[in-house]
Amino acid sequence: MVSQSASSQPPQLKSRLGAILRATSGNFLEQFDFFLFGFYASTIAKAFFPAQDETAALLNTFGVFWLGALMRPVGAIVLGAYIDRIGRRKGLIVTLAIMAAGTVTIAICPSYATIGVAAPVIVLIGRLLQGFSAGVELGGVSVYLSEIATPGNKGFYTSFQSASQQVAIFVAAILGYVLSEMMPADVISSWGWRIPFFIGCLIIPFIFLLRRTLEETPEFLAMKKHPTTSEVFSSAAANWKIIVLGMMIAVLTTTTFYFVTVYTPTFGKSVLKLSNQDALLVTILVAVTNFIWNPVGGALSDRIGRKPVLLTIACLSLVTSYPALYWLVDAPTFGKMLAVEMLFSFYFGVYSGTMLGALVEVVPTHVRTTCFSLAFALAAGLFGTFTPFASTLLIDHTGDKASPGLWLMCAAVLGIIATLMVYRGVGKAVTSQEAVAASG
């Protein structure tokens, strides 16, 4: 624990790389579990949500996945206000504790065959805890990274919030690949799927140790007055327009991310009928390219501005998402799936690396964590984590295996509209007050 005397003075951040690692460690746990839930969706559906129809069971599983995400806005407001009032460091430790509780709950929950209807209820509680914590985890980390960034590099620094999540995807996919090679499918379906979840539980103490060594940001310590909880809520309500615009900008990030990570294994196995190993290998490679493109996008936006990068990627996504998926599903192969996922990975990484810096800049400074977190939580809860469910539903109702591309196109349209409303001229970010005026 940092001593009172040390925490009362603006700290000299001796190692910015170390600060990034400590701040983003909680992101690893969140995305590690989120990906596992998506990858083992079919197995989880059989364990906790039995149904005679496979699609119905899968929809139940993705429905619970989405319901957990609906807790994100609640967490963004409640925990965001706490972080804006108490501090970045203490808040990020609290969010990690709540997230860990949700992860352990899902990992140890008995199956439906063992305890009946209590099983899906317990899993739902675990997902609600995870969603509540995730509501502010991403925002809290992004704000922290922005506030320790060197001048002119805020986009690059904040991009590591998203880049760090890709490490979790990579590790989880590797574990899944190794298990699929070592264990028969019936063993994995019975109990083997729990092994990666238990591994996630084992790394929790190490992540707590990293988080406890976080230093408070100089920018937060330099604030002459920290808002009370009621002031945070009032300010967030007064800035609802910029929060909505921020949500619209973030939608393309969240929908594309959940498509190329959480939904891809299910899409590859259940829709394209590719092997389990093929779907996992694509996901592993996507995690690597996601990690690369995020800081590239952040650094590029630091140099040429947020607006041109956001608009370019959103327009490309709008015109290529459906055609790319149509080409893939027409005659699916491993090579074609990899090519399409690499394209979407490029869109996600560059856009996300830019969007995070943009969102930090346009929300009000004194309630930065709350407003950022709420905007991102709404994007993730209403659109991003709904992507696996929406994709499954679209394919089931239309019979068009490329129909998830329509969902991604809608996200791109929202991003284009919001970017044009928030930014003016040559791409300089307007202030939150100017953005509100522009939107009105």
CATH of the domain at 84: 1.20.1250.20
pLDDT < 50 regions, the chain: 1-13, 425-440
Q: State the pTM of this model.
A: 0.79
Task: Give the pLDDT of residue 250.
Answer: 95
Domain that holds residue 156: 12-216+228-439
Residue in 70, 63, 67, 71 with CA at minimum distance from that of residue 44: 63
Please report whether residue 38 resides in a domain. yes
Query: Which residues are registered as beta bridge partners of 428?
Result: 424
Please report whether residue 4 resides in a domain. no
Q: Is 114 exposed, middle or buried (0-12, 13-18, 19+ CB in 10 A)?
A: exposed
Task: Give the pLDDT of residue 43.
Answer: 77
Please report whether residue 223 resides in a domain. no
Task: Give the pLDDT of residue 193.
Answer: 83
CA 413 – CA 408 distance, rounded (Å): 9
Please report whether residue 1 resides in a domain. no
Please report whether residue 205 resides in a domain. yes
Task: Give the pLDDT of residue 51.
Answer: 65
Please report whether residue 335 resides in a domain. yes
Please report whether residue 5 resides in a domain. no
Structural domains counted in the chain: 1
CA 227 – CA 224 distance, rounded (Å): 10
Task: Give the pLDDT of residue 430.
Answer: 46
305: alpha, beta or left, given left = phi > 0 and alpha = psi -120 to 50? left
Please report whether residue 221 resides in a domain. no
